Amino acid sequence: MFAIAPLQDRFGRAIRYLRLSVTDRCDLRCNYCLPKGFNGYEEPANWLSFDEMTRLVGIFAQAGVSRVRLTGGEPLLRHNLPELAARISALPGVEDLSLSTNATQLVKHAVALKAAGVKRINVSLDSLDKGCINTITGRDSFDAIMAGIMAGKAAGFDPIKLNMVAMRGVNEHEIRRMVAFCLENDFILRLIEAMPMGSTGRNAQYLDLNPVREQLLAEFGLIPEVAELGGGPARYWQTADGSGRVGFITPISQHFCATCNRVRLAVDGTLYMCLGQEEKFEFAPLLRGGASDAEILAALKFAIELKPERHEFKEQPGKIIRFMSQTGG
């Protein structure tokens, strides 16, 4: 029996979207995300089990959350992830299950994930230049990423969104090429402004995407997209014939906090209300302490009340010291 009133924070925003981190570990070291040599990972004993995740997501769904995205770290490093995906996709109320990945492991898992109910994938791809990708990710990863993307396409994921963190002096010269590549291959490109999360995020070469957008609109004849694409923060533009789309995620230059509909659950059961603030609530003690579903649902409603009005990335860029992978992407 679903709750009558959906989750709503004190600013009137309905919370419909949960980003579920299944691990904080990653096989890459993207230089805007994790520093080289980082080893401050959560102990596996503190990870939520699949049973605990499924139970908690079911309570979220009972409260009106209909979209779930599996994230990390790199979620495909979590053993037997398709099993968890199948369990979550079968939960009453979950209408859309998606995955964020760096695609290095996707060749091995694409078919199983699709069969398990994952409908859409987002892949991090910051360049089409092998040397640039290998520099950004800290390893020889380009071929594995590209193979994974194509395996996802062959498996039938639709849409496939490629996430490009646009950085001044690093890959900004490749944006036009990336747009053309995505239009040619029926992918959706999402350009993202770097966020000052942790020391690595603050050291990223921030690029304001508003001038970039105006250039692309003129060059590719893009027009505003009306339809919603995934319920996330991107604002989309499409080609005149509707065959291609480009999204822009601008948390710094043009934030979207007023319409934020999401929260993030870390692998240890900590619920973060905002990427750019510290408000959080720990669910592991309830899950492991014998709390009933009704008690957890009450705690969830309390936690949502902690969600702040907006982040302060621009005003206080040094505020958040945790890295993105620790929050859940």
- Domain contains 3: no
- Residue type at position 298: A
Q: Which of 304, 321, 324, 320 is nearest to 312 (CA)?
A: 320
pLDDT tens-digit series, residues 13-70: 999 999 999 999 999 998 888 777 777 789 999 999 999 999 999 999 999 999 999 9
pLDDT of residue 322: 57
168 has binding-site annotation: no
- Domain contains 12: no
Terminal Cα distance for the chain, rounded: 31
- Domain contains 10: no
260 has binding-site annotation: yes
CATH number, domain with residue 218:
3.20.20.70
What whole-number distance in Å separates Cα of residue 207 and Cα of residue 76? Answer: 30
262 has binding-site annotation: yes
26 has binding-site annotation: yes
- Domain contains 56: yes
19 has binding-site annotation: yes
- Domain contains 70: yes
257 has binding-site annotation: yes
Q: How many domains does the chain have?
A: 1
182 has binding-site annotation: no
pLDDT tens-digit series, residues 287-303: 999 999 999 999 999 99
What is the domain extent for residue 309? 17-327
- Domain contains 5: no
Query: Is omega for the bond preceding 73 within 30 degrees of 0, making it cis?
Result: yes
- Domain contains 31: yes
32 has binding-site annotation: yes
- Domain contains 158: yes
199 has binding-site annotation: no
pLDDT tens-digit series, residues 202-252: 556 889 999 999 999 999 999 998 676 766 778 999 999 988 999 999 878
pLDDT tens-digit series, residues 98-137: 999 999 999 999 999 999 999 999 999 999 999 999 999 9
